[in-house]
Structure 1
Amino acid sequence: MSSTSTETEVIKSDKYPAAIPYIIGNEAAERFSFYGMRAILPIFLVAQFFNPTGNPALQTVAEAKSNAQVHIFVALAYATPMIGAALADWFFGKYKVILYVSIIYCIGHLFLALYDTDLQWFGYGLTLIAVGAGGIKSCVSANVGDQFDKSNEHLMSKVYGWFYFAINSGSVLSNYFIPELYKNYGASVAFGVPGILMALATLIFWLGRKKYVIVPPTGFKPDFAKLKEGFSATGRVLLVFAFIPLFWAMWDQNLSEWILQAGKLDLELWKGHTILSGQVQLANPVFLVSFLPVFTYVIYPNLEKLGVKVTPLRKIGVGLALTGLSFVIIAQIQDKIDAGGHPSVWNQILGYLILAWGEILVWVTCLEYAYTNSPKFMKSIMGAIGLLTVALGNFLVALMNESISKGGYFAQYTGASYYWFFVKLMAIELIIFILVSKFIKEKRYVGED
């Protein structure tokens, strides 16, 4: 063997980076805070501000106002990652941005707990949480990838899977306990506990400060050769991400529209055991936590053994189809509600199961795709571009609900027709994705010097 080949040979390692437990612990606690707050947000907005008397004549408009508010909040939370990513990649580094912006995040939670009867100040709290959650969002996922090099990059897919597992573990716990706290102790306690968990998340992150592989900021230097490479990478990834806003426009309804729909269902799981409408969404993270290992360690490897190449684009395509199928189920449920029925909550739980499969195939894949297909100086930026798809999808749904609340064009899409509208959109998008995906090429950037 020549000296050149020896020098370039990479010795594989099965040792995970030392910082991973701190990153995953931080993510689990932070997601508890975020999803715990969201678990009761649409119900709270209707009951506290938009229809406090429970007038049936006002309910449709009140729900549309609540949905619009929730989706605007989510849109802001997923638009600000671009700012956080730029600050991290070019000026301060990921560690400082995550740590200091997390403090803003904690203050936002404090506002929700203190001002649960004042819509204006409650709104300020939502804004601070959106800025905090968004400011760290792309940095945290990119920080996972920074811990790897050429020797252990083969472990990255598994760690991103466990990273997403942590997200949904926090979500499982919060989706169960926060609605219970809201019912038994009121809004201030129910919004306060997520704030405590965000403070814990910040502490966990700080405790791992000596374990991280810290990639220093590159500075904002207009290197035209790098910019050309960056624009090329951005173009490839954007071609994929162009199909993701509709996925998020539909997915995020399980934390707003689906919760409000659950209030009209028969919520008895079995004889003598009824759950709260805000707890039905617990099904999504439970299914995610349960099926992530199944997809990672069973389905994907066995498909490969059968000769079926499991590519990122194939995962995304199947995930989009499953997302559309979940909405077929929700639309059929709404058809029965509109006819005066009270379908079993188990019908909606089936919708959550299929939506979870779609999410695993679409978004877990996109997290890794955004990192591996972007050069070193654009890792966080590319992650933020992925998160902008969430913002765009939620912004479109917010506009639609705003139109409904004001009797505009989309007021014709209420009840079941609202959900069937999205089913049709996804069917059209899926056909286009199948046609375009064959022309999309990959270029991986992992463990660069």
Structure 2
Amino acid sequence: MKFFRLSGNLFENFKFPLPCWIILIHEVLERFSFYGMKGILAIYLNLYLGFNDNHTTVLYHLFVGLSYLSPIFGAIIADNYLGRFYTVIVVGLVYLLGHVLMTLTAIQKNILGPLIGMSILAIGSGGIKSSVAAFGGDQVPTGNDMMIEKYFSLFYTAINLGAFAAQFVTPILRKDISCVDGQCYPLGFGVPAFIFLVTYIIFISGKRTYTIVPRSKSVLSKFSHCIYVSIRNYIKEKKISKYKSILEYAQPEYSMKFIDDCKKALRIMIVFAPIPVFWALYDQQGSRWTLQAKYMNGKIVNSYNMKPEQIQSINALLIIGLIPVFDFIIYPFFGKFNILVKPTSRLVASYIVAALSFIIAGFLQIYLIRGQNIEFNTAGSKLLIINSINDCKLNLTIDNRRIMLASNGSVNLDLNPGLVQVSMKCVGYQLQVKNLTLSQYKMTGGYIYKDNNARIDIKSYFVKSPDSQNHIRFLNPNDPVNIEMLRLAKDHKNFTIDSNYSSLDVGVYEIYCSSPNYNEYKCGNVDVTPGLVGSLMMTSERKLHFWKEFEPNLIHMLWQMPQYILITCAEILCSITSLSFAYSESPDSMKSLMQAIYLITIFGGNIIVVFVAGVGSKLTQTTEFFLFATLVLIAGCINWILIRGFWISKDNFVENQNMDN
């Protein structure tokens, strides 16, 4: 068997067989395909398919939850029927089908297709998750615990490298390339699909080099059956005092040693009970935090604008960078004061740090709403009217409200959704009445202008962009000169805009005007920033005026960095500690079962988010952030009590065993 060696001092003493490298490459590419699709999923559901923020959050977390529940079924299939290698092969085809469906259904906008694709992809991705990790461990030569430890360290690094690359690249593919409706979601989903096809072929090609361990009965199945038998026998015999616990009724079908192992596993599961609340917060990076970022300014330099989905890629880099910091700096420092030494203190600290991240997210949401002026009251709609007539002090009657609007002035009103009548009167002009239809949770508006018949009217309507995209148009309300569109130039590229809104890349543009009566001439500049909505308006003196209908997004996405740093620290404190605790405290026969239970806690966390976003849909986003911060603090207190109870229960269990002996 061929061996490869990593360069550098860290791994120079450890040789890894070729199959290990194949699995590591497979893991990088497979995680790229999964996180590439998952990274743009919330924005796809929200901005492209039109689901509101709550429905987007529910669908997103149903997908993530299913992807963490399906590994349980994948493990059962691998252990009882197909073995790990053939499970990856068979279930991998399901995974690939999900990718293909997501790509094809993004070409023509529809609802049912993506939902089916999401479900199939979640089953496929989760179905191979447990098998690939365990299959990779099978390739490491037995008896070398140090090599196994280093291999899984590389395996964990591979996961995060694939996640980072995908979450950074696929938002660029979906936004910066135009193929459908000005964006390219088919490419954003298609590249991850192609990457998975490549890694699927790579995995199959290494078959001759693999060590294939024969399948054995699933511990999860055996554990579940033991509980079933004990309850069945207990109900059948109805003798409470026959044994000390209900589990002992599983005798003689199961040995007393296995029953004792089940008891220990159940005690660990009780300790794990509050952990789903932590995962409820953690997994909102891809949903609520991404949806929060869409209202923020992502401008990094004049020529580049960060996409809302890209900010979450920092989590993968932070994990890789912060684990050594915790191991070599934070834990030793606090250990001098006997803090963060035991699993109890680390788990409780993880809940506190997670709560702080959501408190910061809540305060950021408060400032974001204030800065954007897009918070809707109970009325649910906003109407913005701008008076572009130079010589008219306008009398408006809107929804039985009388308003005086000066020239070049504006008014912003909170109104109920539906039909609204606007009456307009100005000295020298006829009274005009206009009916407008307002949509819920949207800001609608328009210019009041005069036409050649000395009438005033509302020219056209605009809606504030729901994300960091800008929307620019050209208006010539009174048509003094025959200019129907403008040419904008930046970085040797030309763009034309007319009375329809156009979304442009961020940056400073030179503006050129032309008409049949005049040669093209430079008529101004415009600085296009994220979230800006405005109109370039031509005056009778052939001068161009830029009117900001809505201010650009003022708060930068990088203000989310503190909450991302804190939630990553919380993950290290919770995830690694809980896995280590479960592995060290569980019997040898139950260690793989603990991995399954760990995945179920992540599933449970996503279901909590589904419940809050669905049932509590009337909560504001700010209130929801603070609610989750409160819930995770309560969960931390409960976890502290349960762990203390675990140690007491463990001591009593050992004492009873010694007495029996």
Asked if TM exceeds 0.5, the reply is: yes
> 1:427: how far off?
1.2
Distance in 2 of aligned mates of 1:313 and 1:384: 22
Does structure 1 retain, via aligned residues, the 8 Å contact 2:32–2:165? Answer: yes
Distance in 2 of aligned mates of 1:21 and 1:369: 29
Q: Residue type of the partner of 1:438?
A: R
Q: Which has the higher helix share?
A: 1
Q: CA RMSD in A?
A: 3.0
Distance in 1 of aligned mates of 2:581 and 2:85: 22
1:257 corresponds in structure 2 to 288
> 1:82: how far off?
1.4
Map 1:307-322 to 2 at 5 A. 310-322=341-353
| Alignment CA distance shift 1:360-1:213 (3 Å) | farther
> 1:25: how far off?
2.1
Distance in 2 of aligned mates of 1:357 and 1:120: 38
2:384 corresponds in structure 1 to none
**1:95 lines up with 2:93 in the alignment:** no
Q: Equivalent of 2:603, from 391, 395, 405?
A: 391
> 1:434: how far off?
2.3
Distance in 1 of aligned mates of 2:134 and 2:645: 27
Consecutive unaligned residues of structure 2, counting only runs of 5 or more, are 1-12, 179-183, 226-252, 373-553, 652-661
Does structure 1 retain, via aligned residues, the 8 Å contact 2:276–2:605? Answer: yes
Q: Equivalent of 2:215, from 214, 217, 220?
A: 217
Map 1:10-21 to 2 at 5 A. 15=14, 18=17, 19-21=19-21
Partner secondary structure for residue 217 of structure 1: coil
Map 1:244-323 to 2 at 5 A. 244-269=275-300, 273-296=304-327, 299-300=330-331, 310-323=341-354
Q: Equivalent of 1:206, from 204, 207, 212?
A: 204
1:233-259: CA deviation from partner (whole Å, max 9, x where unpaired): 431331332122111111111101111
1:245-291: CA deviation from partner (whole Å, max 9, x where unpaired): 11111111110111110011122346664311121112211212222
Q: TM-score, normalised by structure 1?
A: 0.82
> 1:305: how far off?
8.3
Consecutive unaligned residues of structure 1, counting only runs of 5 or more, are 1-13, 52-61, 404-409, 444-449
Does structure 1 retain, via aligned residues, the 8 Å contact 2:285–2:312? Answer: yes
2:628 corresponds in structure 1 to 422
1:112 corresponds in structure 2 to 102
Partner secondary structure for residue 118 of structure 1: coil
1:238 corresponds in structure 2 to 269
Does structure 2 retain, via aligned residues, the 8 Å contact 1:89–1:380? Answer: no
Q: Residue type of the partner of 1:361?
A: L
**1:440 lines up with 2:432 in the alignment:** no
Map 1:163-182 to 2 at 5 A. 163-182=155-174
Does structure 1 retain, via aligned residues, the 8 Å contact 2:344–2:640? Answer: no
Q: Residue type of the partner of 2:368?
A: I
Does structure 2 retain, via aligned residues, the 8 Å contact 1:142–1:383? Answer: no
1:54 corresponds in structure 2 to none
Partner secondary structure for residue 371 of structure 2: coil
Partner secondary structure for residue 218 of structure 1: coil
Does structure 2 retain, via aligned residues, the 8 Å contact 1:40–1:178? Answer: yes
Q: Equivalent of 2:67, from 60, 65, 77?
A: 77
Partner secondary structure for residue 334 of structure 1: helix
Q: Equivalent of 2:195, from 194, 197, 203?
A: 197
Partner secondary structure for residue 80 of structure 1: helix
Q: Residue type of the partner of 1:139?
A: S
Q: TM-score, normalised by structure 2?
A: 0.57
**1:363 lines up with 2:583 in the alignment:** no
Does structure 2 retain, via aligned residues, the 8 Å contact 1:142–1:380? Answer: no
Distance in 1 of aligned mates of 2:641 and 2:557: 37
Does structure 1 retain, via aligned residues, the 8 Å contact 2:339–2:345? Answer: no
| Alignment CA distance shift 1:129-1:363 (3 Å) | same
Q: Residue type of the partner of 1:360?
A: I
Distance in 2 of aligned mates of 1:22 and 1:362: 30
Does structure 2 retain, via aligned residues, the 8 Å contact 1:335–1:415? Answer: no
| Alignment CA distance shift 1:412-1:63 (3 Å) | closer
Q: Residue type of the partner of 2:57?
A: N
1:320-372: CA deviation from partner (whole Å, max 9, x where unpaired): 22222211111110111232354322220121111112112222344455555
Distance in 2 of aligned mates of 1:255 and 1:338: 20
Q: Residue type of the partner of 1:224?
A: Y
1:171-211: CA deviation from partner (whole Å, max 9, x where unpaired): 11111110010011401111011111222332343344455
Does structure 2 retain, via aligned residues, the 8 Å contact 1:113–1:191? Answer: yes
Q: Equivalent of 1:162, from 154, 158, 181?
A: 154
Distance in 2 of aligned mates of 1:157 and 1:302: 25
Out of 367-376 and 36-45, give the one that drifted further: 367-376
Does structure 2 retain, via aligned residues, the 8 Å contact 1:88–1:380? Answer: no
Does structure 1 retain, via aligned residues, the 8 Å contact 2:340–2:346? Answer: no
Q: Residue type of the partner of 1:242?
A: A
> 1:108: how far off?
0.6
Distance in 2 of aligned mates of 1:192 and 1:20: 28
| Alignment CA distance shift 1:275-1:367 (3 Å) | same
Does structure 2 retain, via aligned residues, the 8 Å contact 1:77–1:131? Answer: yes
Q: Residue type of the partner of 2:564?
A: Y
- Taking every aligned residue pair, what percent have the same amino acid on both sides? 31
| Alignment CA distance shift 1:81-1:230 (3 Å) | farther
